[in-house]
Chain A
């Protein structure tokens, strides 16, 4: 399987395996159905946005707007929830696609730098979410089937959201590995000008990645509204950086041109797992780390991964 266990990505799988093993051996309820399903349910949002971010970063771009776009989509989905999941889910994703189209227009059309274009969309989406929701959380309609997506589980174990997320992951992976679109995505990140001169449809690929990332953020917003019963205009702060961190931990270079969708998923799960293990450790009562420590540890973790990557014979990133 090319790409899954390639050398650069091996470390994230090893780290994931070690942490899982550690959890299983140390904590009684770690491998319980309850922990597994709540872990997967919560992290399906981050898996989805990280995969969208991964494709964007493969082109050498970045999408800072995913957090506020997810918040916007959660508001839209909650407002549409009386019409049921069949309307609210596409509605939320459509809100994400709209933001993605705005990014794509600015980046592929007007040739604005992705960092600034998506920063503008980040602010605009936050403004839109706040004005749509009147600056309040928007309760969902509990009578409809909308909350089934975020709260029901298959066989009492796998949340629907993680299954939907899995579909997105497989889609992204197939696109990257098996289609000319995916090769173009990687070619742009490798050398945009060369890719363009070779006759690759680089604009089309750029439009695709930003639309996809927007749709992923929209989907994450739907998960949020459905799983927590409310559209939350102020949620999603810092999600873009969590997604970027997951992509980086998964071994994808921010300069683009390479990367792995499965390793990104592993990166996202790894971050979730660190929190999960910390909660268990606190639960044992031998020592207690306040919630404030979690971000310190998350940063340390990112530092260690980056130092390892810098040491593991990667060519220096000097332009």
Chain B
């Protein structure tokens, strides 16, 4: 990247303005605790939003991320609370992270196959799992809240590295890795070409179906990771609540970050900044005594303005 994308620059300016405003008016804003609280709240949204950005870049949308989080979040405690895992704590811990991620990936595979091979529209294809995925998670857990104490696992959601929450570092790592994937790999090139002009990509011989399937698998796996973090953070798994409305938060972050729903753009760094911007805006309002309800309305306005700013622009 030789020069900064003007949209990204605009977002950075807005973010800086918000920071300055907070330093001026929000009591106790400049301390480590504020940073840690915000980082831990924004991390799961950022992780899911990065995956969502890939899907949006392919010209699709993924409504199922919240349900996928619920499935992964329901599976993890079931695995490490099982007799086998209690007998083999090390292996059990690995399995309780790897298996839910595989299950999440399988959900993404399901979405991807419906979309890429059967030609089902993304919003409809992912609607299926949006509706039934949470139900599956609830059936798995009998609709019960699973609580647990497992310090090794909860470290994912409560641990600190250099004073900052582990999930914040995970979100940062995910962003960097995916940004590199988009910029440096053949998959990344194909992804932007598929989203930019699918027909031309088909004619040019790009493996369009495989690219799309890979995209939904990545998005779902990241959603699964976010589900694990939420469960670790709460030391409890409530299938009815994990990841609720996450699809909307993630889409909002991606769009504020500069993704265009028409596809062809994957501003991964922008998505992270978009998620941070929405988080910080909410924090600013709440820390200054403005109600939750107003926060929703302000978020709505931010989304509308962000979409309006990028209207008609297509790079």
Contact = CB atoms under 8 A, between A and B. Distances in A.
A112 B294 CA distance: 23
Interface string B97-133: 0000000000000000010001111011101111111
B303 A127 contact: no
A283 interface: no
A119 B299 CA distance: 10
Interface stretch (A2-10, A76-84, A241-249): A241-249
Contacts of A120: 300-301, 303-304, 307
Interface stretch (B38-46, B134-142, B152-160): B134-142
Contacts of B61: 115
Interface in A92-129: 106, 110-113, 115-117, 119-124, 126-128
A298 B131 contact: yes
A255 to B, nearest CB: 7
Contacts of A113: 261-262, 307
A316 B300 contact: no
B228 interface: no
B296 interface: yes
Nearest to B127: A241
Contacts of A156: none
A122 B299 CA distance: 11
Nearest to A106: B304
Interface residues of A, number: 47
Contact of B131 (A116, A124, A131, A299): A299
A135 B293 contact: yes
Interface in B53-67: 59, 61, 63
A292 B138 contact: yes
A317 B128 contact: no
Contacts of B312: 111
A241 B142 CA distance: 24
Interface of A: 62, 106, 110-113, 115-117, 119-124, 126-128, 130-131, 135, 241, 244-245, 248, 254-255, 290-300, 302-303, 306-307, 310, 316-319
B128 A306 contact: yes
B125 A131 contact: no
Most buried by B among A110, A119, A290: A119
A291 B134 CA distance: 12
A277 to B, nearest CB: 17
Nearest to A290: B143
Contacts of B198: 318-319
B119 A317 contact: yes
B129 A123 contact: no
B303 A123 contact: yes
Interface string B254-294: 01000001100000000000000000000000000001111
Contacts of A293: 135, 139
A296 B136 contact: yes
Contact of B135 (A119, A241, A296, A317): A296
B135 A124 contact: no
B251 interface: yes
B248 to A, nearest CB: 6
B118 A307 contact: yes
23 contacts: A112-B304, A116-B303, A116-B307, A117-B304, A119-B248, A123-B248, A123-B296, A123-B299, A126-B296, A127-B300, A128-B297, A131-B291, A244-B127, A291-B143, A292-B142, A295-B131, A295-B134, A295-B138, A299-B130, A299-B133, A306-B125, A310-B118, A317-B120
Nearest to B262: A113
Most buried by A among B63, B121, B142, B296: B296
B199 interface: yes
Contacts of A122: 248, 300
B122 to A, nearest CB: 9
B179 to A, nearest CB: 23
B131 A241 contact: yes
Contact of B132 (A123, A244, A254, A295): A295
Nearest to A299: B132
A218 B123 CA distance: 25
A112 B124 contact: no
Interface in B152-188: none
A127 B307 contact: no
Most buried by A among B138, B300, B303: B300
Most buried by A among B129, B131, B133, B294: B131
Given A116-B303, A124-B296, A241-B130, A248 B135 contact: no
A293 B142 CA distance: 10
Given A112-B304, A116-B307, A127 B124 contact: no
A307 to B, nearest CB: 7
By Cβ-Cβ distance, the 10 closest A-B pairs, closest first, are: A299-B132, A127-B296, A295-B135, A292-B138, A296-B135, A124-B300, A131-B293, A127-B297, A123-B300, A299-B131
Most buried by B among A120, A248, A300, A319: A120
Contact of A254 (B121, B142, B262, B295): B121
Nearest to A292: B138
Most buried by A among B136, B304, B308: B304
A122 B245 CA distance: 12
A128 B119 CA distance: 38
A127 B295 contact: yes
Nearest to A131: B293
Contacts of B301: 120, 124
A255 B123 CA distance: 11
Contacts of B252: 119
A23 B209 CA distance: 41
Nearest to A135: B293
A131 B295 CA distance: 11
Contacts of B133: 299
